[in-house]
């Protein structure tokens, strides 16, 4: 009898513990509290002496405990495909069916989005993806980066920053991850995340021993904080291409399955099917004027191949552009205006055996 009571008692203790586990705890974000199994959408306001802006954020807090995934879209406000894909995805995400938490920054750089500004925040002419970790006493974009670093990235166990080719870029979709030899475990987790996103082309950012100097980039700030971090690059030319939107929605679903935030199978690309790009070369313009090219993103180029040309502002032929390396064009400038130092092509180097196959 005593044994039976003891068994019953331990059953009650175990089941109440499991129940507590199953319910999870509240998620705190600033002064906001999100209950398990609910979502909250709100604006966070940032201001400097001169400017102010707001950030639209949604937090999905799963019924059951699990990892926190931070996602940013719209760090560049004219990269619409990831912004819209995240919005669609958010409508389908049910916190009642989730483990853990997703912090989604819908549009990190709202002034850039609303003012149709390529890459920079027009309030202070700064590129948000060059000022991390930010500065709480700096200009508006530096304060925005500071908020994202300390309130979104710092709260995440995993991090994803989503981009597209900007308004002037044609782009072949790829994912990327931060890879530094002094942090093999974080790099490996990020590599697994990148594969879970399902894009066949995977760029390895860094590939040195460790990050030197400021993090600069949004997702590299996550890496510096010991958080596995990946990027998506999908979409182009300030268009809203349905296929590209669907591709990112699929990638997000697969990543959440991979992290076991959602229940389902991830569409992880097998290691031997993924094409890892360890090095890239940017071809820049030596002049200002017009740029012309018949090449497309995704095209394979051989070293020395003619890629295009520039003219001066009167239309006189100026410079012929040649491929400095062999590889694939990941993205290229697709319309005429070009300044000295602007990127014309970004070419991903590929392992020799892969180049031969193509
Ligand atoms: Zn971008």
Q: Are residues 115 and 224 in the same domain?
A: yes
Q: Are residues 202 and 338 in the same domain?
A: no
pLDDT tops 80 at residue 20 = no
Q: Are residues 349 and 334 in the same domain?
A: yes
- What range does the domain containing 190 cover? 20-275
User: For residue 79, how far is its CA from the centre of ligand 1 (angstroms)?
Assistant: 6
CATH at 315: 2.40.50.100
User: For residue 120, how far is its CA from the centre of ligand 1 (angstroms)?
Assistant: 10
CATH at 107: 3.40.630.10
- The sign of the CA dihedral 304, 317, 165, 242 is negative
For residue 59, the surrounding DSSP H or E stretch is strand 52-61
pLDDT tops 90 at residue 16 = no
Decide if 12 is inside a domain: no
Residue 357's pLDDT band (boundaries 50, 70, 90)? very low
Cβ atoms of 229 and 132 closer than 8 Å: no
pLDDT tops 60 at residue 14 = no
User: For residue 134, how far is its CA from the centre of ligand 1 (angstroms)?
Assistant: 17
Across-strand partners of 41?
58
Which residue intervals of the chain are DSSP H helices?
2-23, 80-92, 110-114, 140-147, 184-196, 218-224, 242-258, 352-357
* Per-residue DSSP letter, 295: -
Question: How many structural domains does the chain have?
Answer: 2
The span from the CA of 144 to the CA of 75, in Å, is 10
User: For residue 232, how far is its CA from the centre of ligand 1 (angstroms)?
Assistant: 9
Kindly report, residue by residue over 140-175, the tens digit of the pLDDT. 999 999 999 999 999 999 999 999 999 999 999 999
Which residue intervals of 200-239 are DSSP H helices?
218-224
Decide if 130 is inside a domain: yes
User: For residue 350, how far is its CA from the centre of ligand 1 (angstroms)?
Assistant: 23
The bridge status of strand 201-208 relative to strand 174-180 is parallel
User: For residue 133, how far is its CA from the centre of ligand 1 (angstroms)?
Assistant: 17
The span from the CA of 327 to the CA of 317, in Å, is 26
């Amino acid at each position: 009898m005593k044994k039976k009571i003891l068994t019953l008692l331990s059953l009650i203790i175990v089941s109440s513990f499991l129940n507590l586990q199953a319910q999870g705890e509240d998620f705190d974000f600033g002064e906001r509290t999100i209950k398990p199994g609910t979502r909250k959408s709100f604006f966070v306001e940032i201001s400097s002496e001169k400017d102010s802006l707001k950030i639209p954020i949604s937090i999905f807090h799963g019924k059951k405990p699990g990892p926190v995934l931070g996602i940013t879209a719209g760090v560049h406000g004219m990269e619409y495909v990831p912004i819209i894909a995240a919005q669609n995805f958010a409508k389908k995400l049910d916190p009642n069916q989730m483990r853990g938490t997703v912090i989604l920054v819908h549009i990190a750089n709202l002034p850039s989005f609303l003012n149709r500004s390529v890459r920079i925040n027009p309030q202070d002419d700064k590129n948000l993806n060059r000022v991390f970790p930010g500065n709480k006493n700096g200009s508006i974009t530096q304060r925005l980066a500071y908020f994202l670093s300390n309130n979104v990235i710092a709260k995440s166990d995993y991090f994803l920053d989503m981009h597209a080719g900007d308004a002037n870029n044609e782009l072949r979709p790829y994912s990327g991850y931060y890879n530094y030899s002094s942090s093999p475990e974080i790099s490996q987790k990020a590599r697994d995340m990148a594969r879970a996103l399902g894009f066949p082309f995977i760029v390895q950012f860094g590939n040195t021993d460790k990050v030197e100097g400021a993090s600069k980039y949004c997702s590299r700030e996550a890496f510096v904080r010991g958080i596995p971090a990946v990027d998506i690059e999908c979409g182009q030319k300030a268009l809203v291409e349905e296929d590209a939107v669907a591709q990112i929605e699929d990638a997000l679903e697969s990543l959440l399955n991979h992290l076991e935030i959602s229940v389902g199978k991830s569409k992880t690309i097998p290691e031997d099917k993924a094409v890892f790009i360890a090095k890239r070369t940017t071809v820049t313009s030596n002049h200002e004027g017009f740029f012309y090219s018949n090449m497309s993103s995704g095209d394979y180029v051989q070293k020395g191949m003619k890629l295009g040309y520039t003219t001066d502002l009167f239309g006189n032929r100026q410079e012929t552009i040649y491929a400095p390396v062999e590889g694939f064009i990941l993205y290229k400038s697709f319309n005429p205006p070009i300044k000295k130092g602007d990127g014309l092509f970004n070419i991903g180097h590929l392992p020799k055996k892969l180049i031969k196959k193509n």
